[in-house]
Each structure stands twice: as C-alpha cells, then as structure tokens.
C-alpha cells in the first residue's frame, strides 16, 4: 500500500464513519428519509472508492454490498426495517474494525464472514459475484496478467505515459475483440498531471475501444469546471454515464507485477481509474504509519487560518514599533501604548490559535446513539437518548480523553439507572426511559452532564454497601451526608449490582472515570433523587494547552497549582490544627482537612520549625479536600503547559512546567500525585 495515500484515506474515512454512525442511528427513526438514505449510500460508496485504490478487499466487499442495499432502499425496492438495520449495523462494525486495524498498522486482513455477506446479498434480492483473491492460473478471458513497462521502478512513481501503457494492457487483455490502444490527448505532458477534461478524454477512448458494439462519449456534468476538481457526486454522475452506455462482461481481475521484488497486491474490483492509482500499484515497501496517526490531524476552517495570519501581521507591526522605540529616546507613554497594543494582539492571537485545536463535542456524542440502542436492546429496555449542546467546542485532546469516561457513564445510566419497562409502568412512569447527554460552556470550563429519569440512588443502600465491603465502619458510614454517600460509587471496587454480568457489577470503571477526570483538572458532581433519577456532572477546562494557575513559592522558587482545584486560602494558625493518627489536620467549618507541608518536599534543604505566617491553600483532589501549606502566594497567572523531559516524566507530583511572567521556570503540581507522595 502507498502509505501517504493510505493516511489521507484514513483521515477521510474516520470522518465518514463518524457521520455514518449518526446517520444510521437517525435512520431507524426516519427509515424513509430520502436525504438520509442518499447520505448513507454516499458514505459507503466513498469508503469503497478509497479502499479500491488501496486494494483492501474485505473493506471493498462489505462496502459494495452495503452500497447495493441502500441503492435498493432509496429506490423503494427494499424497506429499511429492524432486520435490515441489524445486518447493516453488523456490516458497519466490520468496516469500523478494519479501519481501526489499518490505523493500528495492520496491513493484512482475514476474509469476511460469508454469512454476513450472504445476508447483505439477500437484502438486495440477488447474489453478488464475490471478490476473489488472485490465482496463479490465469485465463485469457477473466484473469489478465499485467506487466510493468520496461524500465519502470516497481517501488517508484509511473509517469502518465507509463500508466497509459499499463491501462492499454489491461483493457486489451479484457477485450475479447483485441487490445485497445489509448493515446494521450494532444498537448498533455506525459510526465505531468492531467486535468479532469483530459482524464475524461482518456476515459472516452478506453470505453469506446473496449465496447464492441458502440463508442462512448462522456459529458462533464453542468457547472463543473473542466480544469478543477470534481466532487464525489459529480464524479458518480460521470461514472453513471459510462455505465449506462456500456455493458462490459463481468470478469474477475487481478494484477501481477513482473518484478521479483514486488509481491502481488490483494485482488480488487476494477476501481474508477484516476491518475493517483498508478502510485498504488507500484509503491508497497513503505513502513506502516505509527499507531493512531489520524488522531494527530485537525481540520481547520480557512477563515480561522486567515484570522491567524492577519493577527501575525499585526504582531509583526507591533514588534517593529517596539524596535523603533528601543532605538531612540521614547517617553513612557509611547512604550506603554506599544506594550498595550502588543498585549491586545497577543491575546487575540492566543484565542485564534486555540480555536484551531477546538472541535465540537459532537465528535464524542456521535457514538452514543448506537451505544444506547445496542445496550437497551440487550437488556430488554426501551430508552431514548437526547443529545444537547453538540456544537459546543472543546480542545481536541479533551475530545479524545473524554470519550471512554462518557461511554462508561452512559452505559451505567442505561444499566443501573433506567428501570425495566414493566417496573416503570408500575411506578407510574412512561414505559420509555430517557437519558440526556448535554454539554455547555461556562466561562473557561465545559460542563458535561448525563441525566436519566430512572430509579435514582438510595444513600442508605450505598452506606450499607460501604460497610459490607469493609470500606468503613457503621459509625463512619452513618455520618456521611447524602452527597458523600453518592460519591461512594466512584470508589474502586464499589458496586451495587447483585450479580456480575458482561455489562457491569465488578466495581471497576467509575474509579477509572474519576481518575481520568482528575488528570484533566476536572471535577465530578453527583445528584440523585430516589425514584426520580440521577444526574452526573463533569466540569473540565476548555483547553489543556493553557492553564489558569495559582502561583505559590518558597523563597525564590515558584510552583503553579491548577486554579480549578483551589477552593480557598487562609493564614496558617497552629492553634487551629491538631494531629490525628500522626496526620496534621486543620479544622474548617466542622470539617477536618489533612495538611501537607510542601516545604518539607520542595525546600527540604531549608527545614522550618515555625510555619506561622505561611498560607494554607485548600484544594479539591478528586472527591476529597486537602490543605497545602506554602511559604507565600504570588497571585494568579495563566501559563502555557510544557511537558517534562523524559527523565522527569515519572516524578510523582509534577504535571509539567512553564515559564512565568518574570522569565523564571515554574513546575506545575499534579495535586493527585502530591497527595500520594505525602500519604
């Protein structure tokens, strides 16, 4: 495979799969929506086209059959009912799996399940000709063998002239009336690229020469620029012209390279010939791309790029102004104005650059209609999923990091939250349960929530389970308020399920969700009413690239604490502290909070006997609170996070580093690691 083209294909295919996932879920509610049916048809068709260039036979087989099914459905020959949906969704899963394997570096695939292919064929009412692997025995009527033109590097690129010769071989071998000879249109550079108009002329030659009964003339669809690029829809219309005017015999094709160093590519149906295809057939020694390479790309609106370019231009002007002021005796007012202008432009530029990393949360939400549908059917429940705030933007890294925690929370709502239909009816509720997945922006944070109208949680049951599992004694459990009782479900090994299933019950998952959200400098809040439902809210920063922090210090050394975790600050007073089981605690509004003296860790070479005058910074760490004792608090500052070097990555208690406003380096503290270090 040509790795460069493969990576382009994977990026496009990822978007198409994401769209198909949403469209197939919508289609079950609107099975006759012509726009949806056409969109799904185009999605399978486009993925098949890319797979054809890369000779990924299993992917071609499934996409081709799914495309045939939707062609029948949109023409009214087949209904998209529940049975058809099951088969199509299984086919979609196969497509997703193959693309995921490609993204992970796999380049060889097992054959498709014949039963699935047969079911897809059955939906169209006729059997399809299977795509078979190339055999060693060739037939003059069905298995043409192509030989690379003399002097062509099997691992390099072919010129248009060489590709034309290869086309002539193929069409000549498949034409029972003799070989067809194609000639490049007049004026075309044999070593350059062809325009759409020139490529159309070459197509006309080929189809005219290979059709024994008549020649074929293709006309560009109205409004298409002959020197530009065609859309998939326009190219499909051009192919339809060709197919309606020709009736070539259906044959199995394989391509065999004559070079000893070039292995046989996997067999594939005849792809629509495009100039890029010549690279596919010859380049196959490139190393597979690194895992998840498509995740490193972001599609950016050109308007955003234009805004960034304009701001960079403004930045250059301000720089020139400052350089001019530096070279002459300028008054303070001129310098102050230039610095204020610089601050304004830099702020706008920062915001614009951050927007290039932003993606709609819809990229995460898109998978949930399918998750809820499959799980509800498996459990025998009737559930509707509502999505709100899908256009809310957040950092691309957050989009990827939140995917797994949200899947677990949504599955929990479907499994533990929403009751069985008969139980709901008996309780006076509608038979159909509702799960709402919502997102909204609140200042520099994103608020995500998962709400269900199920049975809710009983805090007394949670307290009892905590005692049964040995997490605490009865006295401690009885002192927990309802909010603290709800937060017990975030503890490792805690589960209220009576039996373990393949869906839940092992007490694994919610603690992982909590740890992931904490790593993102976020927080989780749980609210539940018995008999009415549960709402789990997640609050995370808008972006991971820039972090609002509280700067603290020990003499000349500065450290940054994520501001989202800071709750309050007060002076250290030894009269308000006491030691319990060897741990120094501070009493704050009827609550005992552990104190950690950071000086003992961060400035161990300068031990202190008296901490009077130091500051106590109360922070939230997961679902607990802790007091960090620091020498001084230097105020708030937005910092740009820089990763630590390889040698420091494993150091507990550090999340990264930054350069402060005065030019010094400050380490950013990982509060969860800090607490672990002291404990």
The three-state secondary structure class of 557 is strand
pLDDT value of position 199: 66
User: What local confidence, expressed as pLDDT, does residue 126 receive?
Assistant: 54
The partner residues of 654 in beta bridges, in order of sequence, read: 669
Measured CA distances, 120 to 125, 323, 550 (Å)? 9, 70, 60
- For residue 439, which of 399, 497, 479, 499 has the smallest C-alpha distance? 399
Q: What is the CATH number of domain 362-541?
A: 3.30.565.10
Report yes or no: 338 and 322 within 8 Å, Cβ to Cβ.
yes
Mode of pairing for the β-strands spanning 383-388 and 566-571 = unpaired
Confidence label for 506 from pLDDT (cuts 50, 70 and 90): very low
pLDDT in tens, 627-658: 999 999 988 888 888 878 777 767 888 888 88
- Whole-angstrom Cα distance, residue 488 to residue 352? 41
The neighbouring-strand residues paired with 571 are 615
* Same CATH fold assignment for domains 1-131 and 362-541: no
Whether the predicted pLDDT of 108 surpasses 50 = yes
* Rounded distance between C-alpha atoms, residue 289 and residue 194, angstroms: 29
How much is the mean pLDDT over the chain? Answer: 76
618/565 Cα distance (integer angstroms): 8
Would you state the pLDDT for residue 264?
A: 35
Q: Average pLDDT, stretch 86-104?
A: 89
Which region among 143-152, 224-233, 457-466, 509-518 has the lowest average model confidence (pLDDT)? 143-152
Lowest-confidence pick of 234-248, 312-326, 494-508, 554-568? 494-508
pLDDT at 431: 92
Between 245 and 438, the more confident residue is 438
**473-481 long-range contacts, Cβ below 8 Å, gap at least 24?**
none
Q: So what's the architecture of 546-678 in CATH? A: Beta Barrel (2.40)
Rounded to whole angstroms, the Cα distance separating 180 from 168 reads 6
| pLDDT mean over 495-524 | 68
Residues near 201 by Cβ (< 8 Å), separated by ≥ 6? 185
Q: What is the CATH number of domain 1-131?
A: 1.20.120.160
Domain ranges of the chain: 1-131, 135-286, 302-356, 362-541, 546-678
Neighbouring C-alpha atoms within 13 Å toward the C-beta of 395: 19
Chain segment 66-93, per-residue pLDDT in tens: 999 998 898 888 888 888 888 999 999 9
What is the DSSP code (8-state) at residue 266? P
Contact (CB, 8 A) for 554 and 634? no
Q: What is the DSSP string of 313-365?
A: HHHHHHHHHHHHHHTS---HHHHHHHHHHHHHHHHHHHHHHHHHTEEETHHHH
**What average pLDDT score do residues 236-264 get?**
44
Q: What is the pLDDT of residues 257-279, one digit of tens each?
A: 333 333 333 333 333 333 333 33
Q: What pTM value is reported for the model?
A: 0.56
DSSP H or E segment with residue 433? strand 433-442
């Amino acid at each position: 495979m040509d790795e460069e083209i493969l990576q382009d294909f994977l990026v496009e295919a990822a978007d198409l799969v994401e769209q198909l996932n949403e469209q197939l879920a919508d289609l079950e509610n609107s099975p006759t929506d012509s726009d949806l049916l056409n969109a799904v048809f185009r999605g399978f068709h486009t993925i098949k086209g890319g797979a054809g260039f890369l000779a990924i036979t299993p992917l071609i087989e499934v996409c081709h059959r799914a495309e045939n099914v939707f062609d029948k459905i949109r023409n009214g020959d087949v209904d998209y009912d529940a049975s058809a949906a099951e088969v199509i969704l299984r086919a979609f899963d196969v497509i997703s799996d193959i693309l995921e394997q490609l993204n992970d570096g796999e380049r060889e695939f097992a054959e498709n399940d014949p039963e699935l292919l047969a079911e897809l064929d059955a939906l169209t009412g006729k059997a399809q000709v299977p795509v078979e692997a190339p055999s060693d025995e060739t037939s003059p009527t069905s298995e043409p063998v192509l030989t690379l033109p003399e002097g062509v590097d099997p691992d390099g690129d072919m010129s248009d002239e060489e590709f034309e010769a290869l086309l002539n071989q193929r069409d000549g071998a498949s034409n029972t009336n003799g070989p067809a000879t194609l000639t490049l249109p007049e004026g075309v550079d044999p070593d350059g690229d062809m325009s759409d108009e020139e490529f159309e002329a070459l197509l006309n030659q080929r189809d005219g020469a290979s059709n024994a009964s008549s020649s074929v003339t293709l006309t560009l669809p109205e409004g298409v620029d002959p020197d530009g690029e065609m859309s998939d829809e326009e190219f499909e219309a051009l192919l339809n012209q060709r197919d309606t005017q020709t009736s070539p015999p259906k044959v199995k094709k394989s391509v065999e390279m004559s070079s000893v160093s070039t292995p046989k590519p996997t067999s594939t149906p005849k792809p629509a010939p495009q100039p890029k295809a010549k690279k596919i057939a010859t380049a196959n020694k490139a190393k597979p791309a690194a895992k998840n390479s498509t995740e490193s790309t972001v599609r950016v609106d050109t308007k955003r790029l234009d805004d960034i370019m304009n701001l960079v231009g403004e930045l250059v002007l301000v720089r020139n102004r400052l350089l001019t002021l530096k070279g002459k005796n300028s008054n303070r007012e001129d310098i102050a104005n230039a610095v204020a202008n610089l601050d304004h432009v830099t702020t706008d530029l920062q915001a614009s650059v951050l927007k290039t990393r932003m993606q709609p949360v819809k990229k995460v939400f898109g998978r949930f209609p399918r998750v809820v549908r499959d799980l509800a059917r498996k459990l025998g429940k009737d559930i509707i999923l509502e999505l709100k705030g899908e256009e809310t933007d957040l950092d691309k890294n957050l989009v990827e990091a939140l995917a797994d925690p949200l899947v677990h929370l949504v599955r929990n709502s479907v499994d533990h939250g929403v009751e069985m239909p008969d139980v709901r009816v008996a309780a006076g509720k509608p038979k159909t349960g509702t799960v709402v997945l919502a997102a909204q922006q609140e200042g520099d944070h994103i608020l995500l929530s998962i709400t269900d109208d199920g049975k809710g949680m009983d805090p007394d049951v949670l307290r009892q389970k905590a005692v049964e599992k040995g997490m605490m004694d009865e006295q401690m459990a009885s002192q927990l308020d309802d909010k603290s009782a709800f937060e017990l479900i975030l503890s490792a090994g805690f589960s209220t399920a009576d039996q373990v299933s393949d869906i839940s019950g092992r007490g694994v998952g919610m603690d992982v969700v909590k740890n992931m959200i904490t790593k993102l400098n976020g927080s989780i809040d749980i609210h539940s009413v018995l008999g009415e439902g549960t709402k789990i809210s997640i609050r995370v920063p808008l972006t991971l690239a820039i972090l609002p922090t509280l700067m603290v210090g020990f003499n000349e050394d500065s450290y940054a604490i994520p501001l989202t975790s800071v709750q309050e600050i007060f002076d250290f007073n030894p009269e308000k502290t006491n030691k319990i089981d060897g741990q120094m605690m501070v009493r704050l509004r009827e609550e005992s909070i552990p104190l950690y003296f950071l000086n003992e860790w961060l400035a161990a070479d300068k031990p202190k006997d008296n901490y009077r005058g130091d500051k106590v910074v109360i922070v939230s760490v997961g679902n607990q609170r802790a007091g960090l004792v620091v020498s001084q608090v230097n105020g708030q500052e937005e910092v740009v996070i820089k990763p630590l070097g390889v040698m420091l990555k494993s150091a507990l208690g550090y999340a990264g580093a930054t350069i402060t406003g005065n030019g010094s380096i400050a380490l950013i503290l990982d509060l969860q690691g800090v607490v672990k270090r002291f404990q």
